[in-house]
Chains A and B, each alone.
Chain A
Amino acid sequence: MVYWILLQKSFLRNMQYKVAHLINNAASAIFGFVFIAIWVGVLQGKENESPYSALDMTYYIAAVQCILWLSGFLTAGLNIQNGVRNGAISLELARPTNFFLYVTSQEAGRLLYNLFFRSLPIGLVFSFTVGFYIPQHIPSYFFLCISILFAMIISINLHYLVGISACWTTEINWAHFVNFTLLVGLGGQLVPIDLLPAPLSYITPYLPFAGAIYYPVMIFLEKVSSEVILIQLVWVVVLTSFNLWLTEKARHKLEIQGG
């Protein structure tokens, strides 16, 4: 199947840069150590005021740093904006393949690469230094796999949405900044969303950003019921359907200039 081949090729293309990526992993781990130090500093002597202990937050931040490479740090606009600028999108949309799957399968290959060469090495660094949580119950591993898969699909869709918007706006830098800010801010990258001040703490659990970072991390730490996967599923269906519809709109909008 063509999309599977695209995924494989994208995986192999990323393999070319694995040494540089391993250096970057060290920086990613340092970011993690900084955030862990913040939480340990904040919670020192105040653990009874918090639903999380310093150790909980250490595990939380360590898991977030790993998940970010699967659902946080995606290619801006999935590079759709480049095709809009140089006109290549006309050819890509005219191909007898589904444009949405054509673009997203390539990003999926990159994320699969990130799992092996970014998330796992970073997780290993944390496990040898500050410690890394290991789920205690077998079903947690099953739910974790589904939750991570949904998190990746949600995030790919959010980035696709930013990218395809280039068909109307051309420039997507600002949209990417805003999307990324919401993803890390309301997704629980530094602060678990239940610790956010009201009314944010009431709204954020139902937004897609929580489904991209917070829920897979909390399932990994076995701190929420597996039912939260349903919230992720709703966003997977809503965002995918919306993006497919938007792709059709973009196809109708397309004007091919002769040369």
Chain B
Amino acid sequence: MNLYLKLLSGSLRSRMQYKMNFLVSSLSYGLIMAVDFVLLAAILQRFDDIKGWNLYEVGLLYGISSVAITLYRVFCVEVHNFERYMVEGEFDSLLIRPVSPLSLLLTKNIDLSRIGGTIQGVLILVISIIGLKLNNVELFLLLIYLPVTIFSGLVICFSLGLITATIAFWTQRIKDFQTFTLYAPFNAANYPMNIYPGWLKIIFFTVIPVGFMNYTPILFLLNKGGDLWNLALPPLVSIIFLFISLRFWKFGIRHYHSTGS
């Protein structure tokens, strides 16, 4: 942990050598993440709701999903960019260290330029919570549970990222898979799951379980259905999925063959 904090401050210092570039990159990344929500706001300003979900309710889903995926992009940058280790043959250097390759990947680097997306997600959450005008009990429950749902989302995102990275042991390049396993599902999780056709819902509640991250608990917390199980499912699913992804990662490492030179 001490080592990780040192790395964090080092990364921040190196970024701050180019302050203007860091600020503009963060701002512009936040802007691109926000544009979908602004457009959605424009639609809902005209048409009121999307299958019974108003702008602030969708905002809660959107904020949780945005914060989860951008935190993954900040803290798991080397897992996300893992194809570089396969294409450039750098993975061998991780295998000869006395620490596990995954620990090395997680502590090697962080990408602070993505923090703009997290800030944008938090802003949407704040605006949505204010706009929802919840009573004290509902507000208290929501605020208590928000860190749980965001952390569960981060773990689900990391697990999906790790499974996709493991595919690189066989395919080398994974950028195109990431669109399929990360970008498209997390974009879908920005909106309520009840709008999707049955086959998409099955995907988002099984093989790519992003539906559990925000839709399941928010459904209960906004009195739209479900029971207390809706609050237990996100951490439960994220732990199971993390376990599966770690097993798959170990399986991938066992089958890794260096190219040699």
Question: Contact residues of A with B, CB < 8 Å?
Answer: 17, 20-21, 23-24, 26-28, 30-31, 33-34, 37-38, 40-44, 46, 49-50, 171, 173-174, 177-178, 180-181, 184-185, 190-191, 195-197
Contacts and interface: CB of A to CB of B under 8 A. Distances in A.
Contacts of A181: 28, 31-32, 35
Contacts of A20: 173, 175-176
Contact of A184 (B21, B35, B183, B187): B35
Nearest to A197: B42
A109 B129 CA distance: 48
Contacts, number: 105
B39 A178 contact: no
A30 B201 CA distance: 12
Interface centre among A31, A42, A46, A171 (most CB of B within 10 A): A42
B191 interface: yes
Contact of B184 (A30, A180, A185, A190): A30
Contacts of A21: 176
B200 interface: yes
Contact of A30 (B21, B28, B113, B180): B180
B24 to A, nearest CB: 4
Nearest to B199: A33
Contacts of A38: 40, 43, 50, 191, 195
A171 B47 CA distance: 41
Contact of A49 (B21, B29, B47, B179): B47
B42 A177 contact: no
B174 to A, nearest CB: 9
Contacts of A40: 195
B45 interface: yes
Interface residues of B, number: 43
Contacts of B185: 30
Interface string B180-219: 1001110110011011110010000000000000000000
A41 B51 contact: yes
B42 A191 contact: yes
Contacts of A180: 32
23 contacts: A17-B173, A23-B177, A27-B179, A30-B180, A34-B200, A38-B50, A38-B191, A38-B195, A41-B191, A43-B47, A44-B51, A173-B113, A177-B32, A178-B28, A181-B28, A181-B31, A181-B32, A181-B35, A190-B43, A191-B42, A191-B43, A195-B43, A197-B42
Given A38-B50, A191-B39, 13 more contacts: A20-B173, A23-B180, A33-B200, A34-B187, A38-B40, A41-B51, A42-B43, A50-B47, A173-B113, A174-B21, A174-B28, A181-B28, A195-B42
Interface string B152-165: 00000000000000
Contact of B188 (A17, A34, A185, A190): A34
B46 interface: yes
Given A20-B173, A21-B176, A27-B179, A185 B191 contact: no
Nearest to B38: A185
Given A34-B184, A42-B44, A49-B47, A185 B176 contact: no
A24 B176 contact: yes
B31 A177 contact: yes
Contacts of A24: 176, 179-180
Contacts of B230: none
B109 interface: no
Interface string B101-144: 00000000000010000000000000000000000000000000
A95 B24 CA distance: 34
Contact of A23 (B28, B49, B50, B176): B176
B31 A178 contact: yes
B28 A27 contact: no
A183 B194 CA distance: 29
B90 interface: no
Contact of A177 (B29, B177, B179, B197): B29
Contact of B47 (A17, A33, A46): A46
Contact of B180 (A27, A44, A171, A185): A27
Nearest to A178: B28
A31 B50 contact: no
B112 to A, nearest CB: 13
A14 B28 CA distance: 29
